[in-house]
Structures are given as structure tokens and as C-alpha cells.
Chains A and B, each alone.
Chain A
Amino acid sequence: MSKPSSFSLRGRKALVAIKDERDAIIVRRQFERLGIDIVIWDGGATIDCRPDVTLIDDEFLPLTSPAQRASLGRSPVIALLGTETPSRLKLVLDLDPASFLVKPLRSAGIYAALVLAFERRERTNELKQQVVKLERRLRSRRVVLAAVLQVMHTHALAEPAAFALIRRAAMEQRKTIEELSAEITAKGSLPRAAG
């Protein structure tokens, strides 16, 4: 299934925690126009839904319960700012917000804040996956180095040629360089030279 576009918001679910009734009316009306379902949260201990996005008034901060913080961390957060003082911004930063709106709210800006929040979360997730992949490759660097040294020694090759040999063998055997290097160092077996 293809992932939803950040520009299309119909059918998404939002957790909304807003103190001021006027701001709440504006959010409800704009979300209805955008086809977004709303779950109201009054700051109580439990959050018993899995929203796609959370709008939280800075008047609800700080969140004291670890369970609340964990729940909010599962979806992008849009912070509603009443003041720009560093002390208040520090509390907001603890939520790692993907976007923000300044109170008092108006209908203009809400759509943009939502789109930015969804897109920011999407890109952050992609970056996290990239980091995990790079960390895995970094950890295996030592194994690859050991395999290259072994091939250099047994085949009397220079380092570039030894690495090229391992890479070609990995491609032929449909394995990653890291996997083949692990086999070389574990079994002492050398990759077969291609044709």
C-alpha cells in the first residue's frame, strides 16, 4: 500500500488538547473542513488512542507522566504557543514538536502546520532508518577490513584489488560485502574468483 500524501489529510485522526474554547472551536471547524477526526484530550492520566498527530496547548506542559510522554512520542506533535519565553519554549522542545502554531489561532496556518508536521515526521523516520543502516555498516567495518587483509595475504594482492575481489564475489553470491566478509573471517574460505 502506498503511503498517504502529506497534503491529503482526510481520514487522519488527531488528538487535541486545547484550553481556550475559542481556539478549540477554530481547530474543530478547520479539522472538519479538512476531513480530520478529532479525539479531545483533557490532560488526564491516560491517552487511550493512537492518533496520527497531536495538537497540544503549551498550557498543558510539562507532561509529568512518562506514559503520556511516550504516547505523544508515537506521532508528530504540533505545539500551540501562547508565549515565546525561553522557559516555555524549553518545555515545548521536550516534546520534540514537528510544527507549531501561535495563539490566538486563526484558520490560516493550521493546514500548513499539519502538512509540515506529517512531512517532518516522515523525513525524520527516513533519516532514523538511514542512521540505523549506517551504524550497522560502521560496526561491520572491522570485519570487512579483516577480510580484505586476509585476501591481500593469501592472494598477494594490493588492498584495492582485494576489496574488488570481495565485492565481485559478494555480487555473484547475492550477499552483502559485510556478510561475505564475515564468512571469510569465520571460515577462512576465500571468495571464488569470477570467470
Chain B
Amino acid sequence: MTKPSIPVGIICSQHGPYQAMGREILKSAMMAVDEINEQDEFDFSISAHVRDPRGIISEYHTVCDDLIRNVGVEHIIGCYTSASRKQVLPIVERTDRLLWYPARYEGFECSDNVIYVGASPNHNVLPLVRYVLDNLSREIFCVGSNYVWTWETNRVTRELVTAARGKILAERLLELGESAVTHIVDEIVRRRPPVVFNTLVGSSSYDFIRALHAATLAAGLDIPMLSCSLCEPELKIAGPASAGCITSSAYFESIRLPENQAFVARWKARHGEHSSPSVDGQSAYVAVYLLARALQRAGTSDIGEVRRAAAGYRYNSPQGPVWIDGSNNHCVLTPRLAVSNAEGQFDIFWEAEAPVRPDPYLTQLDIAASPARDGTLPNAPHLRVVK
């Protein structure tokens, strides 16, 4: 007997400045859809309707409207940047649909029509900056893409650094897709900051990483780079220059969990031995599974029922156990810190002892608290790889 089909929209840009990440999200989401459609566990199949806004911000509204009006989807998976999420938010709220948003983001939003599957600010920027303050430097040079992700990440960083009596040496912004990075690289070489925090997105980030690596090599400098978004496919794009970047993320390909090892094996069988899943792609995979399990438990695609069924349901995902905190629709997950290596992978040197509740408004943030004092982060002067 043919199983009933539930239409699900997938919105991700496969062209434009952050096409690489959009393609990763699509590949992972489709992998989950295909797996679910083959499993007897589910008494329905998912019919994926993919739309490509091509990185054009106004197109997100158009494709979302099309999915809701013409296809009749109740659930949409996708969007990468916060700017794109803000474009579709009014439509999904007005039509009472549910957006399953896979990317880590800057927080300060809590819509009843969004399930935030990626990391919240207390999962990504907080552990990273506190690690840096306790182990590397109290002075940070910030470079980022000129939109809300960088603005808010920089604000939180500034508050933490200022409370530690440190200093933000500079905040340099580039428009999305901008490749003219030389003036910023020159300034960094001239000023020699102890660390550079890179919140650039997509091609700008790869151009910057390569240019800074070449310039610091020529000048005989060793300036560590920080990131809350860099992932394995991007390490491959940026090349050997991307080694040594201290990165905060809930997912790395190198996580030593049986669920992840099985996921990576399936991924490589599907996409090639030399390909790697990404944090946002893996999160899209998790989003599809959370949606499917909630649909199965709810027995309906009604968004209120599905949201209730999703809340608190624990899923042993590739990144470890995750579940949706029903009080704010954000994901409970395990923060990790790692450093990128020359093989295009990350060596994990810290992870939280248990999954951490999301704090999208940073209400639990104690600016003055030090990770060295609360014992949750390493304060050794040297990085230690967790095996």
C-alpha cells in the first residue's frame, strides 16, 4: 500500500554568495528525506518541494509564498542567514506555518512559528569568547559580514571582553559577497592583534582566510583566528590556509559517537569519500528527523499538534542527544570547541558535559562569570584534543 505523502518545503540558496552552505543544507535535508521515506517506522512519506532563492534576499519571500499558496505546505525547512529568516517570518506567522530553521544564529527571537534547530548564542559565541579570554587574549580584532549575525555576535563579544577589562581592537565589516579584503588584511598585519574573530559568511570568509594566511606568513606572524560558523566543507574550499582556526560549533565530523560515525559513513557513501557533512547541513538532517518524528507522534501535520509533539522529544542525532525546549522552541544541544587541522578536519578539545538548554535572550548570562571559575571550560594555556 502506498503511504500518504506530506508536502514539505525546502528553501536554500544553491547560488549566490553562500551557495556552498545552501547546497550542504539541501544535500543533508534530502538525505534525511530519502532515509525516512525508506523506513517502515513512518506511516507517511515526505514529498520535498525545493526552492532556490539564489541568495537574493527578496526572493525568500517570493518562494515561501509560492510554497504556501501553490503547494500548500505546512512545514518548511531552510533559510541560512538571519536576514533570509526575517524575510519569511511574516508569511509563516500570518499563515500559521512552521519553519524548521537549521542554522546557528544570534538569538533574540522566539516565534511560535519557528523551530530553531541550530545553536543559540549561549551555545556558540559564549564558550568561544570565554575560552579566548581565559587562555589567549583580552584583546580581539573583529571582522564580519555586515548583517545581524555579525552585529549581535560582536555586541555580545564586546560585553564579555569589556567585563574582563579587555578591548575590542576593531570591528571591520564587509558586505555579503564582498571579496575586497586587502585593506583589512593590511590593517591586521600592521596592528598585529593577538586574535582575529571572523564572522564573515561564505565567499568573503574564504577570500579573507586565504589572504590573511598569506600576509601573516610573509610577515612572520602567527595570529589565531576564531569562528562560530566555519565547517569542514568550507575548510576544503578555503584550503590549507584555514588550518588552526579555533571554532565553536555543536557539530564536527570528528565527533566520536556511533550515531555520527554511521551518519558520516552514509554521507560518504552518498556524496563521495572525500566529501564532509557540515554543521548546518547536519542540523538540516536533524530538523527533518525531528519533523518526521513529530509528524508520526502527532498523527497529523497540523502545526500546533506537531509543535507539541516535537517539544521534549529526545533524538540521538549525529551530534548527540538533542531535543526541542518547548518553552522557547529552540534546541537543547551540546556545545563544542575545536581547532581546524591541515587535513580539513577539526580536532575537538572541549565539549560541554551534558546538553545545554538554549538561552536565546541570554537571560542567564552572567557577564562577569569566567569559564575558568565555573569549571566548564578548559583554562589550560595549550589546546588539548578530546579523543
Q: How long is the Cα–Cα vector from A108 to B361 in the complex, in angstroms? A: 12
Question: Which of A34, A106, A107, A108 is B363 in contact with, Cβ under 8 Å?
Answer: A34
Q: Is A30 an interface residue (CB 8 A)?
A: yes
**Quick check: B327 and A108 within 8 Å, CB to CB?**
no
CB atoms of B110 and A35 under 8 A apart: no
- Residue interface mask A56-99, B partner, CB < 8 A = 1: 00000000000000000000000000000000000000000000
Q: How many residues of B contact A (CB 8 A)?
A: 15
User: In the assembled complex, which residues on chain B have CB atoms less than 8 Å from the CB atom of A35?
Assistant: 363-364
Residue A10 CB within 8 A of the other chain: yes
Residue B66 at the chain A interface, CB threshold 8 Å: no
CB < 8 Å neighbour of A10 from B93, B108, B109, B363: B363
B112 within 8 A of partner (CB): yes
Interface membership of B360, Cβ < 8 A = yes
Is the beta-carbon distance between B108 and A9 smaller than 8 angstroms? Answer: no
Taken residue by residue from 26 to 43, chain A's Cβ proximity to chain B (1 for < 8 Å, 0 otherwise) reads as 000110111100000000
**How far is it, in angstroms, between the C-alpha of A106 and the C-alpha of B109 when the chains are bound?**
11
Contact call A106/B93, Cβ cutoff below 8 A: yes
Question: Any chain A CB within 8 A of the CB of B341?
Answer: no
Are A111 and B361 touching (Cβ within 8 A)? yes
Q: Does A154 belong to the interface (CB within 8 Å)?
A: no
* B328 contacts A by Cβ under 8 Å: yes
Which chain B residues border A111 with CB–CB below 8 Å? 108, 361
Q: Cα distance A78–B102 when bound, in Å?
A: 34
| Chain A hits for B364, CB < 8 A | 10, 35
What residues of A have a CB within 8 angstroms of the CB of B89 in the complex? Answer: 108
Q: Cβ of B265 < 8 Å from any Cβ of A?
A: no
* B362 CB contacts on chain A under 8 angstroms: 8
Q: A30 near B110 (CB under 8 angstroms)?
A: yes
- Judge whether B365 is part of the interface by a CB distance below 8 angstroms: yes
Contact between chains at A107 and B361 (CB < 8 Å): no
Q: Which one of A8, A106, A107 lies within 8 Å of B365 (CB-CB)?
A: A8
B111 close to chain A: CB less than 8 A: yes
Please tell me if the beta carbons of A33 and B93 are within 8 angstroms of each other in the complex: no
A46 CB to nearest chain B CB (Å): 31
Contact in complex: B109, A108 (CB < 8 Å): yes
Give the size of the chain A interface in residues (CB under 8 angstroms).
13
Q: Which residues from A are CB-within-8-Å of B363?
A: 8-10, 33-35
Most A Cβ at <10 Å: residue of B111, B361, B365? B361
Note all chain B residues with C-beta closer than 8 A to A30. 110
* CB of B363, distance to nearest CB on chain A (Å): 4
Complex: A101 Cα to B115 Cα, angstroms: 24
In the complex, how many angstroms separate the beta carbon of B163 from the nearest chain A beta carbon?
Answer: 11
Out of A8, A10, A32, which one reaches B327, CB within 8 Å? A32
Report the minimal beta-carbon distance from A106 to chain B, rounded to whole angstroms: 7
A9, A33, A34 — most chain B CB neighbours (10 Å): A33
Residues of chain A contacted by B360 (CB below 8 angstroms): 33
Expressed in whole angstroms, the Cα–Cα distance for A10 and B362 within the complex equals: 9
B257 → A minimal CB distance (Å) = 30
- Docked pose: A10 CA to B367 CA in angstroms: 13
B108 touches A33 (CB 8 A): no
Nearest A residue to B89 via CB reads A108
CB-CB contacts of A1-38 with B at 8 A, as 1s and 0s? 00000001110000000000000000001101111000
- Cα of A29 to Cα of B364 in the assembled complex, Å: 17
Give bound CA distance, A33 to B110, whole Å.
9
Q: How far is the CA of A33 from the CA of B89 in the complex (A)?
A: 19
How distant is A9 from chain B, measured CB to nearest CB, in Å?
Answer: 7
Q: Which chain A residues lie closer than 8 Å to B112 at the CB level?
A: 107
B 315-331 binary contact with A (CB < 8 Å = 1; else 0): 00000000000011000
Q: Is A33 within 8 A of B111, CB to CB?
A: no
Mask of B83-123 contacts with A, CB within 8 angstroms, 1/0: 00000010001000000000000001111100000000000
Task: Pick 28 A–B contacts, CB within 8 A, sort by A.
Answer: A8-B362, A8-B363, A8-B365, A9-B361, A9-B363, A10-B363, A10-B364, A29-B327, A32-B327, A33-B110, A33-B327, A33-B328, A33-B361, A33-B363, A34-B361, A34-B363, A35-B363, A35-B364, A106-B111, A107-B110, A107-B111, A107-B112, A108-B89, A108-B93, A108-B109, A108-B111, A111-B108, A111-B361
Interface on B for A, CB 8 Å cutoff?
89, 93, 108-112, 327-328, 360-365
9 additional A-B pairs beyond A30-B110, A34-B361, beta carbons within 8 Å, are A8-B362, A9-B361, A9-B363, A10-B363, A33-B361, A35-B364, A106-B93, A107-B112, A108-B89
